[in-house]
């Protein structure tokens, strides 16, 4: 299967690699009691120009579980001379000179991750760019695959803030699979047109809905919250942007439907029930397994 030196673009991923390499390796990692020391004597650096909780923590924990070391800058814009990614190739080469083996890079500026990879000093993994987040897409796809027995033929509903990297990455990833039906229920924003076009060109059926009744047909529901608490409050003041996940809501769903959330919660979705179909924490664990698998792959 294809060897990926860098992982920077979800649309460049190959389904055979995703299922045959990543998902199968995640399955093996899941049942191991002792993790292979695949990073012994190696290190990764989380170079983040925007703060992160789950992505950074799961990459650092993945390195530690495989006997590696992890370093980070939670907000690189505060540190001279790396405060701006204008000379990202220089920054990557500096890290390589310090014998760092892998960089996970997050930036809200377009083209930064691609320029970092072009330095060819070490493998670069996209930890979040303006409209992409490949390892989050892999984690979400693996969750659907593991929970539902596959991705083909599934109806996926995305609810909440649609103009977000997590949503764009998931949609790009879903386009790899067959007979996908996508239901978009926006509280704010829209999926970038180029992402929708990519999905349609790859056979995904895309529909937009303004109410939550359509969620009863979904096999998986993906919640994505507003940017901030203030944003959530603004949406509520306009009479939108609030969804109560309670027993009544869950009763409308399929018996095997799963509800996912990439942990962006800021009070936007009220979780008022406990139900085995709420897959939030299993999804977070899957993100750890996926990032362990990605690290093992790019480092050989």
Q: What is the pLDDT of residues 44-103, one digit of tens each?
A: 999 999 888 899 999 999 999 999 999 998 777 777 667 667 889 999 999 999 999 999
Pick the CATH number of 10-130+286-298 from 3.30.200.20, 3.40.50.1370, 3.20.20.140, 3.30.70.100: 3.40.50.1370
DSSP the chain: ----S-B--GGG--HHHIIIIIIHHHHHHHH-SS---TTTT-EEEEEESS--SHHHHHHHHHHHHTT-EEEEETTGGGSSSSSSGGGHHHHHHHHHHTT--EEEEE-SSTTHHHHHHHT-SS-EEES-BTTB-HHHHHHHHHHHHHHHS-STT-EEEEEEE-SSHHHHHHHHHHTTSSS-EEEEEEEE----HHHHHHHHHTT-EEEE-SSGGGGGG-SEEEEE--SSHHHHHHHHHTT-S-EEESHHHHHTS-TT-EEE--S--SSSEEE----TTB-HHHHHHHHHHHHHHHHHHHT-
CATH 3.40.50.1370 domain extents, the chain: 10-130+286-298, 134-284
Mean pLDDT by 10 residues, the chain (300 residues): 82 96 95 86 95 93 97 78 80 96 95 95 96 97 98 96 94 98 92 97 96 92 72 50 86 97 69 94 96 94
What local confidence, expressed as pLDDT, does residue 165 receive? 94
What local confidence, expressed as pLDDT, does residue 237 receive? 44
What local confidence, expressed as pLDDT, does residue 240 receive? 57
Average pLDDT, the chain: 90
Architecture of domain 134-284: 3-Layer(aba) Sandwich (3.40)
């Amino acid at each position: 299967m294809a060897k990926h030196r860098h992982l920077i673009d979800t649309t460049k991923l190959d389904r055979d690699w995703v299922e045959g390499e990543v998902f199968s390796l995640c399955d093996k990692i899941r049942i191991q009691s002792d993790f292979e020391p695949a990073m012994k004597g190696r290190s990764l650096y989380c170079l983040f120009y925007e703060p992160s909780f789950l992505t950074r923590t799961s990459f650092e924990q993945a390195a530690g579980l495989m006997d590696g070391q992890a370093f980070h800058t939670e907000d690189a814009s505060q540190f001279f001379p790396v405060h701006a990614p204008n000379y990202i190739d220089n920054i990557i080469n500096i890290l390589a000179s310090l014998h760092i083996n892998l960089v996970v890079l997050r930036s809200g500026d377009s083209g930064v991750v691609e320029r970092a990879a072009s330095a060819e000093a070490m493998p670069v993994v996209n930890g979040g760019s303006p409209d992409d987040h490949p390892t989050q897409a892999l984690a979400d796809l693996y969750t659907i695959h593991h929970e539902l027995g596959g991705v083909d033929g599934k109806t996926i509903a995305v609810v909440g803030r649609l103009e977000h990297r997590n949503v764009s990455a998931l949609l790009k990833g879903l386009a790899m699979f067959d007979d996908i039906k996508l239901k978009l229920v926006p509280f704010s924003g829209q999926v970038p047109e180029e992402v929708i076009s990519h999905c349609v060109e790859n056979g995904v059926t895309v529909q937009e809905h303004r109410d939550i009744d359509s969620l009863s047909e979904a096999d998986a529901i993906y919640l994505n919250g507003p940017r901030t608490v203030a944003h959530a409050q603004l949406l509520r003041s306009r009479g939108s942007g609030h969804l109560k996940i309670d027993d009544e809501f869950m009763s409308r769903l399929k018996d095997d439907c799963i509800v996912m959330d990439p942990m962006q919660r800021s009070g936007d979705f009220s979780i008022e029930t406990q139900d085995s179909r709420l897959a939030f924490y299993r999804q977070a664990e899957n993100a750890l397994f996926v990032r362990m698998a990605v690290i093992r792959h790019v480092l050989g």
